[in-house]
Amino acid sequence: MKVNFFATLRDIAGGKTVELDVNHGITAKELLDAIIERFPLMKKELLNADGRMYGHVHFFINGRDVQFMDDQFQTKIMQEDTVNVFPAVGGG
């Protein structure tokens, strides 16, 4: 599954687009876990001390912010979906 990273996350990921070997139909939470497993430095960029995604970080599935979707991080992601992860400018 391809995941696009933006801003400072590209430095950690080593580029804009990264291919992750995960099953289609996984949840957004499972994909987030796979991203952090592959790029441990992203944990401090994406998650607070409670393990929740920072409000200034956006995890988009097909252009929709998962934090505002009905199932939030339990939303299923299919292979053909577009996933973008980026920190908002000025977030901190």
pLDDT in tens, 24-34: 899 999 999 99
Query: What is the C-alpha to C-alpha distance for residues 27 and 32, in angstroms, rounded to an integer?
Result: 9
Tell me which of 3.40.50.2300, 3.40.190.10, 3.40.50.300, 3.10.20.30 is the CATH number of domain 2-87. 3.10.20.30
Q: What is the pLDDT of residue 4?
A: 98
Contact by Cβ (8 Å): 28, 62: no
Mean pLDDT of 17-44: 94
Question: Is the pLDDT score of 92 beyond 50?
Answer: no
* Cα dihedral 57, 63, 64, 66 sign: negative
The pLDDT of residue 48 is 94
Residue predicted with more confidence, 50 or 88: 50
Count of CB atoms situated within 10 Å of the CB of 81: 16
pTM beyond 0.85 = yes
- Long-range contacts at 76-80 (CB < 8 A, ≥ 24 apart): 76/25, 76/26, 76/27, 77/1, 77/24, 77/25, 77/26, 77/27, 77/28, 77/31, 78/24, 78/25, 79/1, 79/24
Average pLDDT over residues 32-37: 96
What are the sequence ranges of the domains in the chain?
Answer: 2-87
Q: Above 80 in pLDDT, residue 49? A: yes
pLDDT at 91 over 90: no
